[in-house]
Amino acid sequence: MRIFKYSVAAVLLAGIFLGITADVNAQDRRTLAEAEKYSGDKFNYSARTRRGARVYAVSRPSAEVLNAIDKGLTDLFAVARKNGYRSQLKYSSYSIFIAKADRENSSSGVYTPSFAIGAAQYAGTDYDKGGHIFVAGMVISNNPMAFIIAEHTREFNKVSDIVRYEGEHLVLYHNDRRKYNETADHSKGGGHPILK
Ligand SMILES: [Zn+2]
């Protein structure tokens, strides 16, 4: 992976020269590279939600989006506590990447922004449909905790839902490994919400 490492360094360097990617937290360097690899996007904007979650986005995230992220995490932490989980329920432990929406509507015409991931990463798995797949959200790292969501321009309640749903995987990873393993791969059954 030496070539890949150099390309990441080049991206970070280019960011510095352009005055962008200025505020990449040290723990997010690796996840940033992962997020770019999966989405094919550049996350040139960084922000913090009011409650302290880190956000990296393809365009400047609005206050509405940042608040929707906080709401999703608040809902997630509430249901986690209800289930007796205590670990990793801190806003600042979460990094959310907002990728460009490659598709706005689901096949049935419902506003469901999603981004395409190349099947290359999934070659040979159940996800491999011989091209790309569209996802609304995707965990990229359990530790540190990070996931990607698709950019929304309206219906921000859907952002809260996706944050809550993707966050479930992370909460389970750190609190209930058995349940985590049951739901980590949706292609083997199970959907969201996992926690009730
Ligand atoms: Zn999921």
Whether the pLDDT of residue 21 is over 50: the answer is: no
Q: What confidence score (pLDDT) does residue 104 get?
A: 93
User: Picking from 91-105, 112-126, 164-178, which range would have the lowest pLDDT averaged per residue?
Assistant: 112-126
Residue 18 burial (C-beta neighbours within 10 Å; 0-12, 13-18, 19+): exposed
Q: What confidence score (pLDDT) does residue 1 get?
A: 40
Compute, in angstroms, the gap from residue 112 CA to the centroid of ligand 1. Answer: 15
Compute, in angstroms, the gap from residue 8 CA to the centroid of ligand 1. Answer: 27
CB 97 within 8 A of CB 56: yes
Compute, in angstroms, the gap from residue 166 CA to the centroid of ligand 1. Answer: 5
Compute, in angstroms, the gap from residue 17 CA to the centroid of ligand 1. Answer: 37
Q: Which residues contact 21 (CB under 8 A, 6 or more apart)?
A: 11, 12, 15, 32, 43, 44, 46
Compute, in angstroms, the gap from residue 165 CA to the centroid of ligand 1. Answer: 6
Compute, in angstroms, the gap from residue 13 CA to the centroid of ligand 1. Answer: 33
- The three-state secondary structure class of 99 is strand
Compute, in angstroms, the gap from residue 191 CA to the centroid of ligand 1. Answer: 7
Q: Which two tokens stand for residue 149?
A: 């969501």
Compute, in angstroms, the gap from residue 47 CA to the centroid of ligand 1. Answer: 24
Backbone angles phi, psi at 190, to 5 degrees: 90, 140
Share of the chain above pLDDT 70, in %: 79
Task: Give pLDDT tens digits for 34-62.
Answer: 899 888 899 999 999 999 999 999 999 99
CB 39 within 8 A of CB 117: yes
Region 96-104 average pLDDT: 95
HSE, CB side, 13 Å, CA atoms: give it for residue 64.
9
CB 101 within 8 A of CB 113: yes
Share of the chain above pLDDT 90, in %: 61
Strand (E) or helix (H) holding 39: helix 29-39
Compute, in angstroms, the gap from residue 22 CA to the centroid of ligand 1. Answer: 30
Place of tokens 């449909």: 129
More confident residue, 126 or 183: 183
Compute, in angstroms, the gap from residue 19 CA to the centroid of ligand 1. Answer: 35
Assessment of whether the complete model's pTM goes beyond 0.85: no
Strand (E) or helix (H) holding 141: strand 137-141
Fold of 26-188: Glutaredoxin (3.40.30)
Compute, in angstroms, the gap from residue 6 CA to the centroid of ligand 1. Answer: 31
Compute, in angstroms, the gap from residue 189 CA to the centroid of ligand 1. Answer: 11
Compute, in angstroms, the gap from residue 133 CA to the centroid of ligand 1. Answer: 14
Q: Which two tokens stand for residue 185?
A: 């791969």
Region 136-142 average pLDDT: 93
Whether the pLDDT of residue 89 is over 70: the answer is: yes
Q: pLDDT category, 117, cuts 50, 70, 90?
A: confident
Q: pLDDT category, 30, cuts 50, 70, 90?
A: confident
Q: pLDDT category, 18, cuts 50, 70, 90?
A: very low
Q: What is the mean pLDDT of the chain?
A: 85
Q: Which two tokens stand for residue 107?
A: 């096949």
Q: What confidence score (pLDDT) does residue 126 get?
A: 60
Compute, in angstroms, the gap from residue 157 CA to the centroid of ligand 1. Answer: 17
Region 76-90 average pLDDT: 97
Q: Would you kindly state where each structural domain of the chain is located, as residue ranges?
A: 26-188
Q: pLDDT category, 4, cuts 50, 70, 90?
A: very low
Give the residue among 188, 146, 152 at the shortest CA–CA distance from 169.
146
More confident residue, 186 or 155: 155
